[in-house]
Amino acid sequence: MNFESFGENLRVIVVGSSGGIGAALVEHLVDSPQVARIHALSRGGRSHPSPKVANLTFDFTDEDSLIAATQALQEVKPFDMIFVATGLLQGDGIAPEKNMRAMSHEGFAKSFAINTTGPALTAKYFTPLLRRDAKAVFASLSARVGSISDNRLGGWYAYRASKAALNMVLKTLSIEIGRRHKDQIIVGLHPGTVDTELSRPFQGNVPEGKLFTAAYSAERLLSVVDGLSPPDSGNLFDWAGERVEF
């Protein structure tokens, strides 16, 4: 992977590096000659054999863990790219709702903790680690189903709402950061439907050719990030680089 809009000796953080897309991002970054160091953060502290990768155990639902990670990363800042490659659609006792009768307090609480609050607090602590003298990007995985204007099917209340809230967090963050650091870009990324544990039970209706491997999606998302410029900050982009309306 070559980055035309970044320089050399890049430093990158990947949060959620043990997930399908997060792990694929790490692999592509390892293969890039421009990337000098990747800090791979996950709850399990998954290890990667490359000497480029520093593995760190991290849980963004625990603010003490966020603070500890920030203190460790302070020693090696500034960073050129930060990716939050996390998400919860089902599991941990919840599933996407088919109708309003399936909504629950627990479902909303868990969805917002992983899909909204975790990325928001990660941004709170990690965006100050971004470089200020050149282009730098904070990107969090979002989803097209979080678009209010694009919602034509209904259902999936908690997941849709948590991703819509994430989009608002990113938009608001972009405004605040843009006042002080014009080269820092804050965006959401829609990876498409990726063959991971998150999407596996819902792949039956995916059109032919629209189910992506994690490796393909990660490569596309890195290409999108490479093509971003400051006016793009605060928006949601899909894997093809098209802006998704909120």
pLDDT tens-digit map of 187-214: 999 999 888 766 566 655 666 556 899 9
The pLDDT > 90 percentage for the chain reads 89
Burial of 183 (0-12, 13-18, 19+ CB in 10 A): middle
Would you state the pLDDT for residue 44?
84
Distance CA 219, CA 27 (A): 10
Helix axes 214-226, 20-31, angle to 10 degrees: 60
| pLDDT tens by residue, 57-113 | 999 999 999 999 999 999 999 999 999 999 999 988 899 999 999 999 999 999 999
Given a contact cutoff of 8 angstroms between Cβ atoms, the answer to whether 94 and 114 are in contact is no
pLDDT band for 181, please (50, 70, 90 cuts).
Answer: very high
Tokens of 82: 């930060």
* pTM of the predicted model over 0.85: yes
Burial of 209 (0-12, 13-18, 19+ CB in 10 A): exposed
Where would I find the H helices in 75-199? Answer: 105-112, 118-126, 157-178
Extract long-range pairs of 72-77: CB within 8 Å, 24+ residues apart: 73/13, 73/39, 73/126, 73/129, 74/129, 76/11, 76/37, 76/39, 77/11, 77/129, 77/130, 77/131
206/27: higher pLDDT = 27
Given a contact cutoff of 8 angstroms between Cβ atoms, the answer to whether 62 and 43 are in contact is no
DSSP letter at 62? S
Residue owning tokens 């919602």: 151
Give the CATH fold of the 10-244 domain. Answer: Rossmann fold (3.40.50)
What's the half-sphere exposure (Cβ side, CA atoms, 13 Å) at 82? Answer: 24
CA dist 42 to 22, 63, 114, 239, Å?
9, 14, 13, 23
Q: The dihedral of CA 104, 109, 114, 116: what is its sign?
A: positive
